[in-house]
A = this chain, B = another copy of it.
Amino acid sequence: MSSAVIPRPIPVALLGLGGVGKAILSQLLSPPLSAQFQLVLIANSRQSLSLPLPAAPITPANFQSILEKHGAPLNLTSVISVLSTHPDAPGIFIDSTGTDVIPAMYPQILSMGVHVVTPNKKGFSSSEALYKAIAEKSFPNTPSFVYGESTVGAGLPIIQTLKDLVATGDEIEKIEGVFSGTLSYIFNEFSKPEGGDVKFSEVVKVAKDKGYTEPDPRDDLSGTDVARKLSILSRLVPTAPALPEGYTSIPTQSLVPDVLSNASTKEEYLERLEEGDEFFANVRKEAKKEGQVVRYVGVIDVKSGKVEAKLGKYPADHAFATALKGSDNIISFTTKRYSPRPLIIQGAGAGADVTAMGVTSDMVKIYERLAVSRI
């Protein structure tokens, strides 16, 4: 058997060490990824640590304390420079932060020849100006790749599938789905095909207690997260409407009822949550009358040119009613080829491990795309 041609590991810097960042670190330090990528730097918002360490290697167990003890103040310019001047350059910059500061720098990072992989939705879902600047500085306009599979559906192959459909000449007619793990859980519990009278406020509180919501549940209930995901997908569909201001250009139904919109703190909002129960009970009652359930969905309807995030009603035997459990996402693509029956992808759309997997699978794609030129 001929010996394998193994390209050199690709240097990687990981910024952001929250839940997802830690899971990325853990995957990158384990086989099979540990043979393909070489972590040269990790950083949180304040400090960075160059690797490898002169002493023992870092591990998922010890990196936090070593960073705190031996880290240098974070300097983004020098992080990028490490990746672009490394002997095995170009390297990969992982933005696992939630800020919009770093996405604003993607064009600069890419134009220095560095690749970008990120679960951060901000760069792809904000202004069209930033989106275009990122596109202009990345493949196929330059040799630098920028990938964000885990910005929609975490590790589920949503973005790659949409790209494949478009790249092979299919025509997208409609993309429809439950895009928020938090709102999936809340409505799967609140509105079941078989009925039930649980209060909306109770379901939200359980979801918060289980850690399914953001610290302030209004961040999920505002629908903003769903609108951002719709913005990211829309921009991959050549015939979808333009979104000059990104997610804010998308009509988005907020689930914070009018009666609670004047709550100034999350504490006050959570205390007064029952005041919104009547609104949701009525929505559920109306749906039930028609044999339907209530779900918070995102819809990209290419034919009518409408992109919306909203409460929708679905028949009790619809996949959005029956197939969903827990905090699963479900996304259906109706296309010229996949119609009348759509292509459907379903599964956990949130969680540190699966979100990290979306990031590392993008990295494997870059690895394979560079491999031929690095052999």
Contact = CB atoms under 8 A, between A and B. Distances in A.
Among A4, A136, A338, chain B packs the most CB atoms within 10 A around the CB of A338
Interface stretch (A267-275, A295-303, A305-313, A343-351): A343-351
Nearest to A352: B337
Contacts of A143: 5, 371-372, 375
Interface size class of A (residues with CB under 8 A): 35 or more
A347 B357 contact: no
Given A157-B160, A346-B344, A372-B372, A167 B6 contact: no
A351 B339 CA distance: 12
Kindly report how many copies of this chain are found in the complex they form together.
2
Contacts of A77: none
A164 interface: yes
Interface stretch (A25-33, A96-104, A217-225): A25-33
Interface string A333-367: 00001100111111110010110010011001000
A75 interface: no
Given A164-B364, A167-B32, A338 B326 contact: no
A62 interface: no
Interface in A313-347: 317, 319, 322-323, 325-326, 328, 337-338, 341-347
Contact of A371 (B6, B136, B139, B170): B139
B168 A33 contact: yes
A304 interface: no
A345 B345 contact: yes
A341 B337 contact: no
Interface string A1-28: 1111111000000000000000000010
A6 B142 CA distance: 9
B337 A343 contact: no
A140 interface: yes
Contact of A140 (B6, B132, B156, B323): B6
Given A7-B140, A27-B169, 8 more contacts: A139-B371, A157-B161, A165-B357, A341-B347, A341-B348, A342-B347, A344-B345, A369-B372
30 contacts: A1-B132, A2-B136, A2-B142, A3-B141, A4-B140, A5-B140, A31-B169, A32-B166, A32-B169, A33-B169, A139-B371, A140-B371, A156-B343, A160-B160, A164-B361, A168-B357, A168-B361, A168-B364, A323-B323, A325-B341, A337-B348, A338-B347, A342-B347, A343-B347, A343-B348, A344-B346, A345-B345, A368-B369, A369-B369, A370-B372
